[in-house]
């Protein structure tokens, strides 16, 4: 989307700034402007600042829009989701609520393989229709850019189908979609007990086809005990890097495997989950510039302690927050709940949560040069709140306060 728009009478403009991830104490630094305006031309912000200083010669002929004293923040970037899937696992949710551990559900035949069966059975058109509904829900909560992972096909045909669905959806909806190949999400039944053979299959057959399709920007792996260990993850990711894909890891979610340390050694763009990550590996991520992506909705749904984002920030990490929308451990894409959990239970301040869901989310997708903040040269993605201050994102606890969503200078959603 690439439109022209002049937004005036902004009560409070709150945004991080910069073209790279904000790290450590920098995450608390917001630019806050009262009585502000934003000018967008051809989808790009050319002015963001005091309303009294709008360059009116540049604004000539640009359609105006009043924010009526409302607050404005950058469009949210949900940098970790699995939104293209078929089927549901509501019974597993109830099992967990009764106390059954995640890996026991997995060993019973539940978990990822169950979603694999439903996703393999779904047509491309069905996946597109399902994904489109979820994207509009995300847009309604201010998400303008979203990462989507495959990983419920677990073979060549159906992994490519998931990625193709994202390509179709990028043309059908206003949201920008960043696809990630996650074939190493689980070992499919046809490779039961033959993890090494499945890795060979992905490296020799699937990864070249993913590269040829040209949809995926990243490659991800579920680095976890009983799934893919450190050495297996390393071999797979190094092959993906040789084929030009950026690297991501599901790391240290259930056990302290050292996945975050591997992410640092490989120069991954992000390591995600991180519930059990050691202090040493946090420091390694900080040194390597790996974005630490925490997923509080998942730890909330699993009744686990949240990742220690406070310690990560204090260790100099760049922290992002994302939803992890998926059919099993977290069937939610609630941005309002992320704000509540971030402030009330992860001990972050509002600036840190806002930065984590905007600029640092963009950095976790390699897009911080063009997205994630409201400043000249960035894409015109922003959210007008039904509130006078960004504080209401947390204060109006668990409630959606989004009024209008602008994507690339065009109105993408109105409440």
Give the per-residue pLDDT at 42: 98
pLDDT of residue 110: 80
Q: What percentage of residues in the chain have a pLDDT greater than 70?
A: 100
Domains and CATH numbers, the chain: 5-74+372-414 (2.30.40.10), 77-333 (3.20.20.140)
Quickly state the pLDDT bin for 100 (edges 50, 70, 90): confident
Checking if the pLDDT of 105 tops 90, the result is: no
Give a three-class secondary structure readout of the chain: CCCCEEEEEEEEEEECCCCCCCCHHHHHCCEEEEEEEEEEECCEEEEEEEHHHCCHHHHCCCCEEECCCCEEEECEEECCCCCCCCCCCHHHHHHHHCCCCHHHHHHCCCCHHHHHHHHHHCCHHHHHHHHHHHHHHHHHCCEEEEEEECCCCCCHHHHHHHHHHHHHHHHHCCCEEEEEEEEECCCCHHHCCCHHHHHHHHHHHHHHHHHHHCCCCEEEEEEECCCECHHHHHHHHHHHHHCCCEEEEEECCCCCCCHHHHHHHHCCCEEEECCCCCHHHHHHHHHHCCEEEECHHHHHHHCCCCCCHHHHHHCCCCEEECCCCCCCCCCCCCHHHHHHHHHHCCCCCHHHHHHHCCHHHHHCCCCCCCCCCCCCCCECCEEEECCCCCCHHHHCCCCCCEEEEEECCEEEEEC
pLDDT at 1: 78
């Amino acid at each position: 989307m690439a439109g022209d728009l002049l937004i005036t009478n902004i009560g409070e403009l709150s945004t991080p700034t910069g073209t790279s991830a904000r790290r450590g104490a920098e995450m608390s630094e917001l630019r806050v402007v009262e009585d502000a305006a934003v000018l967008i031309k051809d989808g790009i912000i050319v002015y963001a600042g005091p309303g009294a200083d709008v360059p009116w010669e540049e604004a000539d002929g640009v359609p105006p829009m009043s924010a009526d004293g409302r607050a404005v923040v950058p469009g949210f970037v949900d940098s970790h989701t699995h939104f293209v899937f078929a089927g549901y696992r509501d019974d597993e949710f109830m099992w967990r609520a009764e106390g059954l551990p995640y890996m026991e559900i997995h060993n019973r035949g539940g978990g990822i393989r169950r979603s694999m069966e439903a996703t393999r059975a779904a047509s491309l058109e069905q996946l597109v229709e399902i994904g489109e509904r979820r994207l509009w829900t995300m847009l309604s909560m201010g998400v303008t850019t979203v990462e989507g992972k495959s990983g419920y096909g677990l073979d060549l045909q159906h992994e490519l189908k998931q990625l193709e669905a994202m390509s179709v959806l990028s043309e059908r909806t206003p949201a920008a979609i960043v696809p990630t190949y996650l074939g190493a999400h689980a070992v499919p039944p046809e490779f039961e007990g033959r993890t090494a053979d499945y890795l060979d299959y992905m490296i020799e057959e699937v990864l070249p086809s993913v590269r040829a399709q040209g949809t995926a920007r990243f490659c991800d792996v579920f680095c976890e005990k009983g799934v893919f260990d450190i050495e297996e993850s390393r071999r797979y990711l190094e092959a993906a890097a040789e084929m030009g894909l950026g690297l991501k890891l599901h790391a240290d979610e259930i056990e302290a495997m050292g996945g975050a340390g591997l992410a640092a050694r490989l120069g991954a763009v992000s390591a995600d989950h991180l519930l059990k990550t050691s202090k040493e590996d946090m420091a390694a991520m900080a040194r390597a510039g790996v974005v630490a992506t925490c997923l509080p909705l998942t730890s909330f749904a699993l009744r686990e302690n949240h990742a220690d984002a406070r310690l990560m920030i204090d260790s100099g990490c760049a922290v992002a927050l994302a939803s992890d929308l998926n059919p099993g451990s977290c069937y939610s894409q609630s941005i309002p709940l992320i704000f509540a959990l971030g402030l009330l239970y992860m001990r972050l301040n509002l600036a840190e949560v806002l930065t984590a869901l905007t600029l640092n989310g963009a950095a976790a997708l390699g897009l911080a040069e063009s997205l994630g903040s409201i400043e000249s040269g960035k894409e015109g993605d922003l959210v007008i709140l039904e509130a006078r201050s960004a504080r209401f994102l947390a204060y109006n606890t668990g409630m959606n306060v989004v009024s209008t969503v602008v994507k690339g200078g065009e109105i993408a959603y109105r409440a």
